[in-house]
Amino acid sequence: MNTIETERLLMRKWGIEGDLDDAFSFYGDAETMRFIPGGVKDREQTRASLQRMFDRDKEDGFGIWPVAHKADQRVIGACGVFYIPDHGTDVEIAWLFDKAYHGHGYATEAARAVTEFAFAELRLPVLYALIHQANTPSIRVANRLGMEFHRMMYAYDRDLRLYEKQPPR
């Protein structure tokens, strides 16, 4: 993946130092990270996370990418797909956005484009989302993507709602 572009957003590879300040604004925020395994990250933990995401993308050919707002090129979130740890070849889609950008449809826009990439380019047979049961906004995004609740699942040291989506026929 080089880039995924939507009307308002651009997903691309991480520029570790160039994206660090923007990424730290959401990875370092307690409200934004309240449902994310591992919770709030300090600046060095954020840098290490960006490096891991960059390396994972290089190794797997996909991963979690920065989401830049095309109007100002600011990284406002992250979205992408990755292997679910300890679940073989099962792939999860995830999204996370700076709280200043909540409520504008950016998560749905980015996740919809990543879902299309996952089915068209990666040819995945199914795509999963693991969502904390109290994370109502993310549950709404999953529903907008046409994902269906499948069951509760224990992952990332917690019980999570497992959503799934099959490719279009």
Q: Give the pLDDT means over successive 10-residue stretches in the chain (169 positions).
A: 92 96 97 94 97 95 96 96 91 97 97 97 97 97 97 92 94
At 49 the pLDDT is 96
At 29 the pLDDT is 97
Nearest partner of 82 among 90, 70, 74, judged by Cα: 90
What pTM was estimated for this model as a whole?
0.95
State the amino acid at position 34 in one-letter form.
R
DSSP assignment letter at 162: E
Pair of tokens at residue 74: 């600011």
Could you tell me the CATH number of the domain that includes residue 96? 3.40.630.30
Query: Dihedral of CA 154/24/81/71: which sign?
Result: positive
State the amino acid at position 42 in one-letter form.
D
Distance CA 110, CA 8 (A): 9
At 2 the pLDDT is 80
Instruction: Indicate the number of domains in the chain.
Output: 1
The residue range of the domain holding 120 is 3-165
At 1 the pLDDT is 65
**Which 3 state secondary structure label does DSSP give 114?**
helix
Half-sphere exposure of 7 (CA within 13 A, CB side): 6
